């Protein structure tokens, strides 16, 4: 399986591995790797073919398609609350279960994650890459600990799983509709010129982000149908889904059945 590398603009690379994308931001002094994919293929040779700069490695959250390549690095920055999930997801049993689906049942390469040192990543942190500044925004929604990455000089927003054509908004217990709306509003207020999402090869725009926020804000429980299956095709009885079209693209929004607190607030 090969990587598919798209240079969105000089020094900003959107990299596809199987069903996910991660990103490399190269400044004049340092580079930042935003997520590490599934870890199916060897990542470092690709990175070193694109830059020889000092590398900062960051995870947006702890899911296997974002932390699978962590084995290649001595230190990875990740939201503190997501460390336990990252460690669990990179255990051989769970990683094999998740990656085997992507490989259509093929052999899953084994990696040693035991030497990875995790350190906290939070929105108080700022990295000067040289001509590019990396800032982080806390955006609970997809999971409770999600971060977005903002490269202010390029007005480039990297949302990982927080904005996609399928919005999986049920991975954390107690995640509410109002929380997702607040998180997306923080991103809307940045007024990005383009958005790189982990499950889209082409950039999204600010209008898509605003329309998604507005749609989620106006939805009510009665608009949803039971989903029955989650993102891992596991049967569940607590998920509901809604389908619509935004910018001529079919999108899906999936919540837990108890997420709809905006409707409750209206009734008070």
3-state secondary structure the chain: CCCEEEEEECCEEEEEECCEEEEEEECCCEEEEECCCCCCCCCHHHHHHHCCCEEEEECCCCCHHHHCCHHHCCEEEECHHHHHHHHHHCCHHHHHHHHHHHCCCCCCCCCCCCCCEEEECCCCCEEECCCCEEEEEECCCCCCCCEEEEECCCCEEEEECCCCCEEECCCCCCCCHHHHHHHHHHHHCCCCCEEEECCCCCCECHHHHHHHHHHHHHCCHHHCEECCECCCCCECCCEEEEEEEECCEEEEEEEECCCCHHHHHHCC
Query: 10-residue block means of pLDDT along the chain (268 residues)?
Result: 92 96 98 97 96 98 97 98 97 88 84 97 98 98 98 98 96 96 98 98 97 97 89 82 96 96 68
Contact (Cβ atoms closer than 8 angstroms) between residue 60 and residue 148: yes
Residue 126 is predicted with a pLDDT of 98
CATH number of 4-266: 3.60.15.10
Residue 262 is predicted with a pLDDT of 93
Residue 138 is predicted with a pLDDT of 98
Residue 268 is predicted with a pLDDT of 47
Q: Is the pTM of this model over 0.85?
A: yes
Domain boundaries, the chain: 4-266
């Amino acid at each position: 399986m090969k990587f598919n590398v798209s240079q969105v603009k000089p020094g900003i690379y959107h990299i596809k591995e199987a069903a996910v994308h991660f990103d490399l931001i190269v400044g004049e002094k340092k580079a930042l790797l935003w997520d590490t994919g599934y870890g199916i293929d060897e990542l470092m040779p690709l990175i070193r073919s694109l830059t020889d700069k000092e590398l900062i490695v960051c995870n947006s959250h702890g899911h296997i398609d974002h932390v699978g390549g962590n084995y290649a690095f001595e230190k990875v920055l990740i939201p503190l609350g997501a460390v336990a999930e990252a460690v669990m997801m990179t255990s051989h049993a769970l990683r094999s279960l998740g990656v085997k689906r992507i490989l259509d049942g093929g052999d899953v390469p084994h990696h040693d994650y035991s030497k990875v040192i995790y350190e906290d990543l939070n929105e108080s942190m700022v990295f000067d890459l040289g001509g590019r500044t990396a800032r982080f925004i806390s955006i609970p929604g997809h999971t409770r600990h999600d971060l977005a990455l903002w490269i202010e000089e390029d007005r480039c927003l990297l949302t990982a799983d927080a904005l996609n054509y399928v919005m999986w908004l049920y991975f954390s217990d107690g995640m509410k509709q109002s929380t997702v709306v607040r998180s997306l509003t923080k991103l809307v207020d940045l007024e990005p010129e383009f958005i790189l999402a982990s499950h889209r090869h082409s950039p999204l725009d600010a209008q898509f982000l605003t329309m998604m926020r507005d749609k989620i804000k106006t939805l009510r429980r009665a608009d949803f149908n039971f989903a029955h299956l989650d993102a891992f095709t596991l049967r569940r009885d607590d998920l509901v889904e809604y389908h619509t079209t935004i910018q001529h693209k079919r999108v899906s929004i999936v919540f837990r059945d108890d997420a709809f607190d905006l409707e409750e607030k209206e009734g008070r």
